[in-house]
């Protein structure tokens, strides 16, 4: 595990990491590429003394370079589940050790599902230039990261209305200044009342989709939100209880040239030589869809830049 980046006279020269029970240091001949992801890249920069100076001082970290945008401008997508029981034993609840063995041996079978088998995009706000709601469809229960799923082996399917244009003040900051502990992730989800409107519409549309005759053979009872949840206020209360990230954090080491930018157009950390960040954290603005492919693209682009440096 990487603990910190060593900076000497304004240049990143090495990395300290913990492995096999002790700390080690490696020195870089050319440059260092930080790819810890949107949560951990800013954490590693901050524990290395690169970040908002007041926050670093608060944690007793010597300021190597004051970079106020590190850990700021966190952006993400958020979802909640609309779950129906399924009348046939064909959902992911049926997957057990046999299916696991099949996956490992042949790369096939029920557990080769990517969990989000289908999806779609909608505009709830007609004035929005792009979709503000995304649906993911899962052939099983998907409640609170799966931690809320029943374990009784029953079958279900889930539609997850997801906010893909949620704006707000969000951040990753240090809890203790120790990279082996989790940083504080401030998602601060509902700063904008409009986000509720989008999700409330999403619940209603999900119910309509599930009521379609194509699902007559499979549709059981509404498990969540449940038939008692009907008015907008009731749906809002349900959303508050079941909202979660859809794991698309970006933006905490954003690219740009303004005061809050962390990296330049070649992914180089402003003010520190020999250090780039190449992961989802550099996206200045989150896209309205899933983030994995763009993250791979950032890595590929970084590889090209290094080759031609």
CB of 51 to ligand FAD, least distance (A): 15
116 binds ligand FAD (CB under 6 A): yes
Phi-psi region at 188: left, alpha or beta (left = phi > 0; alpha = psi -120 to 50): left
Subset of 82-101 contacting ligand FAD (CB under 6 A): none
CB of 52 to ligand FAD, least distance (A): 19
Catalytic residue among 55, 65, 248, 270: 248
Subset of 20-49 contacting ligand FAD (CB under 6 A): 35-38, 40, 44
280 binds ligand FAD (CB under 6 A): yes
Q: What angle do CA 271, 72, 61 make, to 5 degrees?
A: 60
The C-alpha torsion from 108 through 109 and 111 to 112, rounded to 10°, is 40
76 binds ligand FAD (CB under 6 A): no
251 binds ligand FAD (CB under 6 A): no
CB of 272 to ligand FAD, least distance (A): 18
Stretch that binds ligand FAD, among 19-27, 51-59, 223-231, 292-300 (CB under 6 A): 292-300
SS3 letters for 263-303?
ECCCCEECCCECEEECCHHHCCCCCCCCCHHHHHHHHHHHH
248 binds ligand FAD (CB under 6 A): yes
181 binds ligand FAD (CB under 6 A): no
59 is catalytic: no
Q: Which residues of 212-231 are buried (b: 16+ CB within 10 A; e: fewer)?
A: eeeeeebbeebbbbeeebee
CB of 137 to ligand FAD, least distance (A): 12
Phi-psi region at 141: left, alpha or beta (left = phi > 0; alpha = psi -120 to 50): beta
Subset of 214-233 contacting ligand FAD (CB under 6 A): none
DSSP 170-200: -EEE-SSS-TTSPPEEE----SSHHHHHHHH
DSSP secondary structure code for residue 66 in this structure: E
Which active-site residues does the annotation give? 248
Where does this chain bind ligand FAD (CB under 6 A)? 1-2, 35-38, 40, 44, 114, 116, 179, 247-248, 279-280, 290-293, 295
């Amino acid at each position: 595990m990487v603990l910190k980046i060593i900076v000497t006279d304004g240049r990143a020269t090495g990395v300290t990491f913990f492995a096999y029970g002790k700390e080690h240091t490696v020195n870089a001949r050319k440059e260092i590429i930080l790819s810890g992801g949107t949560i951990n890249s800013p954490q590693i920069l901050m524990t290395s003394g690169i970040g908002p100076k007041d926050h670093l001082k608060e944690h007793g970290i010597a300021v190597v370079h004051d970079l106020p945008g590190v850990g700021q401008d966190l952006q993400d997508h958020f979802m909640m589940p609309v779950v129906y029981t399924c009348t046939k034993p064909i959902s992911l609840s049926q997957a057990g050790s046999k299916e696991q063995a099949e996956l490992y041996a042949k790369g096939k079978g029920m557990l080769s599902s990517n969990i989000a088998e289908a999806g779609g995009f909608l505009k709830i706000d007609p004035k929005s230039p792009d979709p503000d709601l995304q649906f993911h469809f899962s052939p099983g229960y998907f409640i609170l990261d799966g931690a809320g799923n029943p374990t009784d082996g029953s079958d279900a399917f889930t539609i997850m209305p997801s906010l893909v244009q949620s704006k707000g003040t969000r951040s990753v900051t240090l809890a203790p200044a120790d990279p082996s502990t989790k940083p504080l992730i401030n998602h601060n989800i509902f700063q904008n009342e409009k986000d509720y409107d989008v999700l409330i519409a999403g619940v209603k549309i999900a119910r309509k989709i599930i009521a379609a005759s194509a699902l007559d053979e499979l549709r059981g009872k509404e498990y969540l939100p449940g038939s008692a949840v009907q008015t907008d206020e009731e749906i809002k209360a349900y959303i508050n209880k079941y909202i979660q990230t859809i794991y698309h954090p970006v933006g905490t080491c954003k690219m740009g040239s303004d005061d809050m930018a962390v990296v330049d157009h070649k992914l180089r950390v402003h003010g520190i030589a020999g250090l780039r960040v190449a992961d989802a954290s550099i996206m200045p603005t989150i896209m309205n869809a899933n983030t994995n492919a763009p993250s791979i693209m950032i890595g590929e682009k970084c590889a090209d830049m290094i080759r031609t440096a």
